[in-house]
Amino acid sequence: MRTSTQLYRFSKLCRKLLAVAGWFVLAVYLATAGSAGTARADKVRLAYLPIADHLPYFVAKDRGFFKQEGLEVTAQVMSGGAVQIPAMEGGSLDVGHSNVVSVILAHDKGFDVQFFAPGHPLELEPGHVGAAWLARADDTKVSSIKDLAGKRVAINNMGNIMELGLRALLAKAGVPLNALQIVEIPFPQMNPALLENRVDVIGQVEPFVTLLGMDKKGKALARGIMGGTIGPSWQISGWFSKKSWIDKNTATAAAFIRAMTGALKYIQSHPEEVPALIAANTRMKEDLVRRTVLSFHPTALRLTDLQPVIDAAARLGMITKSFPAKNIIAGIAPLE
């Protein structure tokens, strides 16, 4: 016969075993809940622009790749990194898409921003060079970059990839930056500003380059944002976040990467759907999409596509010094 002390110890042991069993059941439930379809989707607050370069995002959204990965994406239209980075710092944005120079400048100032997902556009010669530096077709005083001294040149924003491109072209032509007047004008408003003689040259992107060419009212002084000054292939922009967000939300970031990778493979296997997908998510008509020069979207990031831009930003005085491209690419990012 057991004593009261033995019964107490036996009862205590049973309670411990039941507690362990309870935790085990809870752990199994949490581990399998996702496969049963009861797990709550990861929420991602994302910023984008309704432009052709964001084609992989349109595909991931419209063809269900985000949903397939259990991601609930809340998207808002925001201009580039100059606006998105402060929003991330303030905690109202998780993932953004910025031109590379804004992220490079932010890193130079001590922000912990990093590119982490594919779906980024490349300027890739010869078939994927859509941007151009344009003057009026009838302007006999401007026939090359060397003629920009004393002229009015429009770019969309200072402190971004267009400013770096302008600096690179001017340096190659031997024209000081302070020898011209730089005017900030949004891309959709540049063509009218040029044709109405409010500026002399514009740093323009697609589809506006094609639209001006269709009217035969513009002439190209240089093709490409950099005019071929940093090589035949380089990264224009990319999906980025704070390193602290990526480290804290690694599973969510990995799901985002898988969704974008799936979208990119879908684009490669369904090229006939591209015009309709872009038209449905932008203000472009399908026939205009077919006329424009589209960027190339690789399925992985490459250090060699980013390093030349960093080096150029340092050489041309936009950052204090160059640094390795790996410093602004997250460890989770797919690399080639």
Architecture field, domain 132-223: 3-Layer(aba) Sandwich (3.40)
Residue-level pLDDT at 103: 97
Tokens read off for 329? 């690419």
Question: What's the CA gap between 279 and 56, in Å, rounded?
Answer: 13
How far are the Cα atoms of 29, 70, 202, 246 from residue 38, in angstroms, in the given order? 10, 11, 53, 24
Q: Tell me if 42-125+233-328 shares its fold with 132-223.
A: yes
Q: State the first-to-last Cα distance of the chain, in angstroms, to the nearest integer.
A: 73
Q: Which residue has the tokens 């009217």?
A: 215
Q: Which residue has the tokens 């808002």?
A: 76
Question: What's the CA gap between 27 and 21, in Å, rounded?
Answer: 10
274-319 pLDDT tens trace:
999 999 999 999 999 999 999 999 999 999 999 999 999 999 999 9
34-46 pLDDT tens trace:
333 334 459 999 9
- Report whether 103 contacts 319 (CB < 8 A): no
Sequence letter at residue 225: I
Top CATH class, 42-125+233-328 = alpha beta
- Report whether 114 contacts 246 (CB < 8 A): yes
Q: 107: buried, middle or exposed (CB in 10 Å: 19+, 13-18, 0-12)?
A: middle
Tokens read off for 237? 């922009």
Q: CB atoms < 10 A from the CB of 170, how many? A: 21
183-195 pLDDT tens trace:
999 999 999 999 9
Backbone phi, then psi, for 139, in 5-degree steps?
-85, 100
Listed residue (105, 119, 84, 127) closest to 242, CA to CA: 84
Sequence letter at residue 102: S
Tokens read off for 317? 């005085």
pLDDT at residue 6 tops 50: no
219-266 pLDDT tens trace:
999 999 999 999 999 999 999 999 999 999 999 999 999 999 999 999
Task: Return the SS3 of 47.
Answer: strand
Question: What's the CA gap between 84 and 75, in Å, rounded?
Answer: 12
- The domain segmentation of the chain, as residue ranges, is 42-125+233-328, 132-223
Tokens read off for 113? 């921003």
Tokens read off for 4? 């009261």
pLDDT band at 93 (very low <50, low <70, confident <90, very high): very high
Question: What's the CA gap between 250 and 114, in Å, rounded?
Answer: 13
Residue-level pLDDT at 41: 59
DSSP label at 317? T
